[in-house]
A and B are shown apart, each in its own frame.
Chain A
Amino acid sequence: MSPRNLLVALAGQPNCGKSTVFNMLTGARQHVANYPGVTVEKKTGFFDLDDTHVELVDLPGTYSLTSYSLEERVARDFLLGDLPSVVIDVADGANLKRNLYLTLQLLEMEVPTVLNLNMMDVVERRGQRVDVAKLQEILGTPVVPTKAKKGEGKEALKAAVKSLVGKAHGPVYKIDYGQLEDHISELEAVLVEDPVLSVQYPVRWFAIKLLEGDAGVTELLTGTHLDAQKVFDRVESCRQRFHKEEGHACERHIAFTRHGSCAKIIRETVTFPEEKRRNLSDRADRYVCNRLLGPLILIAILFVLYEISIVFGNWLALQIWPLWGALESFAGDVLPQAGFLNDPILRSLGLWVVKSITAILNYLPIFFLLFSLIAVLEDSGYMPRMAFILDRLFRRFGLHGQSTLPMILGGVYVGGCAIPGVMATKAIPDERARLATIMIVPMMNCLAKVPLYLILIGAYFSDVAGSTMFFIATVTLFMALPVAKILSITVLKKRPSAPFIMEMPPYHVPTISGVLRRAIERVWLFMKKIVTVVAAVAVVVFVLINYPGLTDSRKAHYEDMQDAAVAAFMADVGRTGFKDEIGSEDVLPIILFGEAIRDAKRAVTDQDRAALIDAEFQEENPAYYAVARRVGKDGKALNKSLKKVIRVRKQIRREARAERFETSFLGTMGRALEPVTQWAGFNWRINIALLSAFAAKENSAATLGSIYGIDGSDQSVQESMKAGEGGFTPLHALALMLFMALYPPCVPASIMVRSQSNSTKWMLFSIGYQTLLGLFVASLVFTGGTVLGLTGVQAMWGFYALCVATTLIMAMIPTPEEKEAVVASNITQVNTIALKEE
């Protein structure tokens, strides 16, 4: 690192005002990206220190530097890998004891640390006093008090950073681990022998981490040390001897000692007011976290959240749609012109991609509202309380208290969308629970699945429609919870899970600027990511549903239809005054001319404006205009004739598209799957409808509609479906509904899974296991129901009972954490005890 370019990291626990300090130091000079390889946000900003250019990296907020959560690992990897010259450790001055826990770990890692006591205004208001000089002396590192909200202390903080640069710093505070010290020294001696490791990492810290059984450091050792096994054997022997001597595990001792040290330092440096009144946050928590009131408040908050983000968001999306619609028409204008039967590939592919992107952009208002509301929940300090209220229930299924929000947004009853649902998993700190949540959110009832439910219920369960809707709406939860549990004790078993540390930050009133900044940052990040991926996937899907294309004989058949229609039109032209002006090559341009007039007038409600548009078009081509807009006797006559041609054009385009689709790669897949799906009662037609639904769930109803040929007037989809599938029974319909409920997420949601899990493997897994599970359940219900001779309704409630029973059994099976109960619960207890004391 050159002296003119300095890397400084900003660390701190959540809710310590770290963002405010970051903004105070950097002003507007910042940008947000992701840490490479993970979805954790990386905020970088710049400020100047005399003639030195400082790059400030805002590390994710963490309570500690173990390797339980993604955030902790990202923060630690940055400290170890990028070697910042100075770390500014922001601490909430009013909750110093809890915040020191991180500080001591930073010092243990031997990084040059400036302790920033923030929120000193709160400290003063509460009547506490911190002896800064004493604290500095004990810790052996600069301590700077600030009131970042008011911008006070900025220069002092900069000066402290400068004082640490390039100077060999003196002895810093070392935790005395008592009886463990001998074991630490023993391991230090072993580690020092390794020439690489001892240079790269602080040896004492490494030894302590090994004794703690830290997964990340164990991995580091395997990767760095030449004879890792020898070290592991020694670590194991130390741990066992300690356990034998002291009667409890090393990690417990280490956590206890750290907390003890924090408490000791606080006793020496902080004076509390005589009357330690319960502050407002504590009093509010008596209601918010109350066993009875808590859940009610939670439900009310979630209800408001849902109403605003999804219901109001949809309305807002509709208001903004004209913007995206204009983008679509703009693309239509610049791309090559449409043909009569086939469009040029550049046009059809271009429009397909643009439409796929605008379909996603349509969610933008929903996301913006959602992110703003989540930011409000986070900033206000309600998030951890929500987790606390539901955690005990969700833990049993390998989920997290914070899984509630994603599940609600995904449509836990009926009505939601997997995309914002998966997106909202970002807030879950426990990686195992986060992945489990990502995996089950698409199983919720997003409203795109509802049209199909309604068609099937209308056709096959019309007499018990209400209870069938209740069945399908609730059974998904009883399928999702056991699945989450199974995933978390199988494929997700090895994923790190954080011990649940119940930390209740004081309530804050969120600032409008803070909330908006966060929401805009996240929306922007989302846009950049999703739009590129969607464009790429759209191309793949386009190929799958359009190729290999029509055979020559079918093409000829459609061309004959086209020629006949054009010939009939030309015969009519011959009888009018336009016979010298309009030739058969003009037919398509006239149709497109008419469409252009329509597009120009779309959403125009003012008659004068419409007349102006008409005049422009009339000037451009009077003959075309006369036909398209029925000018004069000849115009009227030809317009009628033109309409017939337009109808034929639409018909052959539609039929050719359906035919292309059925013979496409995706369509062929539908047929090829018939031998497997017959056990679930699906024939190839249904397979195709389901495959097309993968592109977007709504398509299933539309595809079923086009397969069964609704003519728009007298027959509804369910009637034509009944007519089209003579052998279809309620059992078929039930199997189909259940398959749809478990069906893999649509393409945009899958992309969201990819983006939130940050792995293509997990996306493919989620598609794969849901397809298999869906097929299994559908086959179980259909084949099982057939063998037992059950009616649709009997099979339905039989299956319901089975799901509820499975859920209850799954709740009894201990989770991996419960198996490691001794270790985890001890650490949790230690933390909980320490936090409650404040």
Chain B
Amino acid sequence: MKKRMIVLTLAAMAAFAGQAFAHSPLMSCFDNGDNTITCEGGFSDGSSAAGVKMHVRDGDGKSILEANMNDDSECTFDKPAGAYVVIFDAGEGHTVELNGADIIE
């Protein structure tokens, strides 16, 4: 009985390995008007996002830029020509996506 319990408990724990963070990732992006975009990252508990990964993908889903948030939790990059998506990637279940069309000047 007890052994079966332990096995089942372990199985349950494996099932719960799904990633979920109890603090929310946050990102806002701004068009600087000089053909550059600046994105600010952070977490709902006020933690810095310094070093967190950033991706930019074009309309076809191809990655066109990979960078990290700098010490100020910011990342500035040249505005892509066509459609694009900015992804703030702090780990599985912990990403924010922003559509380029929603980033206005």
| Interface set of A (CB-CB < 8 Å, partner B) | 291-292, 295-296, 299, 302-303, 306-307, 310-311, 314, 317-318, 321, 324-325, 355-356, 358-359, 362-363, 366, 390, 392-393, 408, 412-417, 419-420, 446-448, 450-451, 454, 473-474, 477, 598, 601-607, 610, 629-630, 636, 639, 650-651, 654, 696, 698-699, 701-702, 705-706, 710-713, 716-717
Across the A-B interface, the 4 shortest Cβ-Cβ residue pairs: A712-B70, A417-B22, A413-B13, A359-B45
Interface membership of B81, Cβ < 8 A: no
> A321-B44, A412-B16 given. 15 additional CB < 8 A pairs?
A291-B1, A299-B8, A299-B11, A299-B12, A358-B44, A359-B46, A363-B22, A414-B19, A416-B22, A446-B22, A450-B91, A602-B28, A636-B34, A696-B23, A699-B47
Contacts of B93 in A (CB 8 A): 311, 314
Chain B nearest CB from A182 CB (Å) reads: 45
Contacts of A392 in B (CB 8 A): 1-2, 5
Contact status A477-B50, CB under 8 Å: no
Q: Which of B9, B20, B71, B102 counts the most A-chain CB atoms under 10 A from its CB?
A: B20
Contact status B16-A318, CB under 8 Å: no
Q: Which chain B residue has the least Cβ–Cβ distance from A605?
A: B102
Binary contact readout B12-28 vs A (1 if CB under 8 angstroms, 0 otherwise): 11111111111111101
Contacts of A602 in B (CB 8 A): 28
Binary contact readout B62-82 vs A (1 if CB under 8 angstroms, 0 otherwise): 000001111110010000000
Contact status B8-A448, CB under 8 Å: no
Contact status B44-A317, CB under 8 Å: yes
Interface membership of B105, Cβ < 8 A: yes
Chain A nearest CB from B72 CB (Å) reads: 5
CB-defined A-B contacts under 8 Å, sample of 28: A291-B1, A299-B15, A307-B18, A311-B20, A317-B44, A318-B25, A359-B23, A359-B44, A359-B45, A362-B23, A362-B45, A392-B1, A393-B6, A414-B16, A414-B17, A420-B22, A446-B22, A450-B91, A601-B104, A610-B105, A654-B72, A696-B46, A698-B45, A702-B51, A706-B71, A710-B51, A710-B68, A713-B67
Contact status A711-B70, CB under 8 Å: yes
A358-B44, A446-B22, A601-B30 given as contacts; is B50 within 8 A of A306 (CB)?
no
Contacts of A303 in B (CB 8 A): 12, 15-16
Contact status B47-A702, CB under 8 Å: yes
Give the complex CA separation of A477 and B72 in angstroms.
Answer: 37
A710-B68, A711-B71, A713-B68 given as contacts; is B44 within 8 A of A448 (CB)?
no
| Interface set of B (CB-CB < 8 Å, partner A) | 1-2, 4-6, 8-26, 28, 30, 33-34, 43-48, 50-51, 67-72, 75, 91, 93, 96, 101-105
Contact status A610-B21, CB under 8 Å: no
Chain A nearest CB from B1 CB (Å) reads: 7
Contact status A706-B50, CB under 8 Å: yes
Chain A nearest CB from B23 CB (Å) reads: 6
Contact status A447-B19, CB under 8 Å: yes
Contacts of A393 in B (CB 8 A): 2, 5-6, 9
Contacts of B105 in A (CB 8 A): 607, 610
Q: Which chain A residue has the least Cβ–Cβ distance from B28?
A: A602
Chain A nearest CB from B45 CB (Å) reads: 4
Contacts of B20 in A (CB 8 A): 310-311, 314, 415-416, 447
A359-B44, A601-B30, A610-B105 given as contacts; is B21 within 8 A of A710 (CB)?
no
Contact status B68-A413, CB under 8 Å: no
Contact status A355-B46, CB under 8 Å: yes
Chain B nearest CB from A477 CB (Å) reads: 7
Chain A nearest CB from B17 CB (Å) reads: 5
Give the complex CA separation of A272 and B81 in angstroms.
Answer: 81
Q: Which of A414, A603, A610 counts the most B-chain CB atoms under 10 A from its CB?
A: A414
Contact status B51-A413, CB under 8 Å: no
Contact status A415-B50, CB under 8 Å: no
- Which of A358, A419, A450, A710 has a CB less than 8 Å from the CB of B50? A710
Contacts of A698 in B (CB 8 A): 23, 43, 45, 47
Give the complex CA separation of A310 and B23 in angstroms.
Answer: 11
Give the complex CA separation of A299 and B5 in angstroms.
Answer: 11
Q: Which chain A residue has the least Cβ–Cβ distance from B76?
A: A643
Q: Which chain A residue has the least Cβ–Cβ distance from B21?
A: A447
- Which of B4, B16, B23, B48 has a CB less than 8 Å from the CB of A415? B16
Contacts of A419 in B (CB 8 A): 22
Contacts of A296 in B (CB 8 A): 8
Contacts of B43 in A (CB 8 A): 698
A311-B93, A654-B72 given as contacts; is B33 within 8 A of A321 (CB)?
no
A477-B13, A601-B30, A604-B104 given as contacts; is B47 within 8 A of A366 (CB)?
no
Chain B nearest CB from A80 CB (Å) reads: 41
Contact status B69-A390, CB under 8 Å: no
Contacts of B75 in A (CB 8 A): 712
Chain A nearest CB from B53 CB (Å) reads: 9
Q: Which chain B residue has the least Cβ–Cβ distance from A628?
A: B33
Contact status B26-A321, CB under 8 Å: yes
Contacts of B16 in A (CB 8 A): 302-303, 306, 408, 412-415
